[in-house]
Amino acid sequence: MRLSKLLVVTASLLALAMPAFAQKRLTKEERAKLPRIAILEFKAAPDAWHGWRFGGWGNQMSTISNQLRDLFTTEIMEKGHGKIRVVERERLQEIRDELNFQQSGEVDTSTVQKVGKLLGVKYVMTGKVTRFAYKEGGFGTGWGVGALVSKVTGDSMAGAVAGSVHVKKASFTGRLDIRLIEVETGEVLGAWHDEDKLSDTSVKVAGTGAEVQYDEELVNKVFEPIVQRITPKLIRATGIANSESDD
């Protein structure tokens, strides 16, 4: 009797595990038939850099755009469960050069369709950083520290070095606006916006306190949660998703 029960339990476990084992690896031909999505370059809204006393980070928008596209690529590949492919940035750049396409602000649907058809994709995702706000708070080591070091050491150079770095508490708020467009019809399948905040973060301020040093890790910390929340919605809008995409 015990042996029979054991066999039944074992058979049940194997039955549950079968779907995972049954998932075969797609052939090259099968992969070629999968729907593809292109992620256009992110731009910043004119008033996105709210609260910044300096423009250094605004000059990094191209780098931030690439980070956001990489974050979305990773999430789409994971949440899409192998049912959708993402066009490489390099291929998209070739098309941009061919069209002499300059993306600034909102991209009109006809341009999106033209890019999408040249790329041979079914979907195009456009995105904009509508907010990347900075707010100072807490404390900072300033030129007073430099003066103190100079007095103690008798070395003005040491004082200048000590006073060249401030450590401040700050908060960053990021917001993304995303649209998903079907290339064939030009229909906007979905539009989403989301924001997140990173508080009480120590940042380094160089020189006289005129510029916060660019920090790639900080960008990821602010925007990655947003990307993770938007991607399942985007996947559902393509129609290729199943309940697993929400896991």
Write the pLDDT tens digit of every residue in 110-127. 878 888 888 889 999 999
Reading the block at residue 126, the tokens are 């456009």
Residue 113 belongs to domain spanning? 27-246
Has residue 8 been placed in a domain?
no
| Contact yes or no for 187/181 (Cβ under 8 A) | yes
Has residue 9 been placed in a domain?
no
| Nearest C-alpha neighbor of 24 from the set 73, 77, 82, 74 | 82
Number of domains in the chain: 1
Has residue 51 been placed in a domain?
yes
Range with the poorest average pLDDT among 17-31, 49-63, 177-191: 17-31
Range with the poorest average pLDDT among 37-41, 67-71, 165-169: 165-169
Reading the block at residue 177, the tokens are 């606006």
Has residue 78 been placed in a domain?
yes
* Three-class DSSP category at 85: strand
| Nearest C-alpha neighbor of 146 from the set 157, 134, 131 | 157
3-state secondary structure 100-115: CCCCCCCCCHHHHHHH
Q: How many other C-beta atoms lie within 10 A of the C-beta of residue 130?
A: 17
CATH number at residue 194: 3.40.50.10610
| Mean of per-residue pLDDT scores for the chain | 74
Angle between helices 61-79 and 216-238 (to 10 degrees): 40
Confidence of residue 149 (pLDDT cuts 50, 70, 90): very low
DSSP symbol at 155:
-
Has residue 129 been placed in a domain?
yes
Most confident option among 8-22, 42-56, 71-85, 130-144: 71-85
What is the tens place of the pLDDT at every residue in 176-215? 999 999 999 999 999 999 999 988 677 665 544 455 667 7
pLDDT at 52: 64
